[in-house]
Amino acid sequence: MKLFLDSANLDHIKEIHGWGVLAGVTTNPSLIAKEGKDFIATIHQICEIVQGPVSAEVVAQDTAGMVKEGRLLAKLHEHVVVKVPLIPAGLAATRQLADDGIRVNVTLCFQSNQALLAGLAGAAYISPFVGRVDDVSGEGMALIREIAEIYSMDPDIQTQVLSASIRHPLHVVQSALAGADVATIPYDVFKKLLAHPQTDSGNKKFLEDWATVPNKDIVGRMTDWLAGKR
Ligand code: E4P
């Protein structure tokens, strides 16, 4: 499963990109508004940092408007994936944009029939919102599992399942086990994926013990050793 960052914050994107595991970024109008920066410049900068798929959402609510915005967004950078809401106008826009060869991330998916429609409309990604499903006493992970199974049974559907609205690290591992192709993860959850008290305490103890080892300049000594100065 690939990992995307769900953020429009350039510092956070640069930091997680530096880990070497970031395959893409998703944004939405709320995340863009939170940063208070120019939309177009932000999307372009994210694309340059990530060098992978970056979802940028249309805000028009009619098909013609979505297609117009989507075509322009796709021209901003080769990494832009046009994000479209899962409403009737969005479905029609997805088909038109997909026919143009533009990748579409169909967002705000809350049930499998919606995902089936998005898949048949040629979406590159479907974004089921697992956290928001859990919020209303549904089972977000069951939705991921069901969509992954439906897509795997239909050779005409090439859509990737992008697990979205991730709230905690368990959602990430559960998404991978449920068959998601991608999980898009908020910054704070991304940091938690790596955090473990035993990693920190173990690392601290190794360094304390290492401090007692003689001739600790291993870089200098290895360089000399490899140069034949043993
Ligand atoms: C998906 O791409 C959305 O940006 C996002 O995952 C929504 O998450 P939220 O429910 O935490 O707002």
pLDDT in tens, the chain (230 residues): 999 999 999 999 999 999 999 999 999 999 999 999 999 999 999 999 999 999 999 999 999 999 999 999 999 999 999 999 999 999 999 999 999 999 999 999 999 999 999 999 999 999 999 999 999 999 999 999 999 999 999 999 999 999 999 999 999 999 999 999 999 999 999 999 999 999 999 999 999 999 999 988 999 999 999 999 76
Distance of CA 200 to the CA centre of its chain: 27
Kindly report the pTM of this predicted structure.
0.95
Residue 33's nearest CA partner among 23, 42, 24, 25 is 42
Spatial distance between the Cα atoms of 194 and 174, rounded to a whole number of angstroms: 16
Spatial distance between the Cα atoms of 90 and 65, rounded to a whole number of angstroms: 10
With a 6 Å cutoff on the Cβ, whether 163 touches ligand 1 is no
With a 6 Å cutoff on the Cβ, whether 127 touches ligand 1 is yes
Give CA separation, 9 vs 46, 65, 158, 204, in Å: 9, 27, 30, 31
Long-range interactions of 226-229: CB distance < 8 A, separation 24+: none
Query: Active site includes 37?
Result: no
129 alpha carbon to ligand 1 midpoint, in Å? 7
185, 4 Cβ separation under 8 angstroms: yes
**What is the model's pLDDT at position 69?**
98
With a 6 Å cutoff on the Cβ, whether 159 touches ligand 1 is no
Q: Of 37, 83, 191, 205, which is the active-site residue?
A: 83
With a 6 Å cutoff on the Cβ, whether 39 touches ligand 1 is no
Residue 68's nearest CA partner among 101, 105, 93 is 93
**Residue of 25, 107, 129, 132 best suited for mutating to test ligand 1, as the one with most atoms within 8 Å of CB:** 129
Torsion sign, CA atoms 12, 13, 18, 21: positive
Spatial distance between the Cα atoms of 12 and 214, rounded to a whole number of angstroms: 40
224 alpha carbon to ligand 1 midpoint, in Å? 52
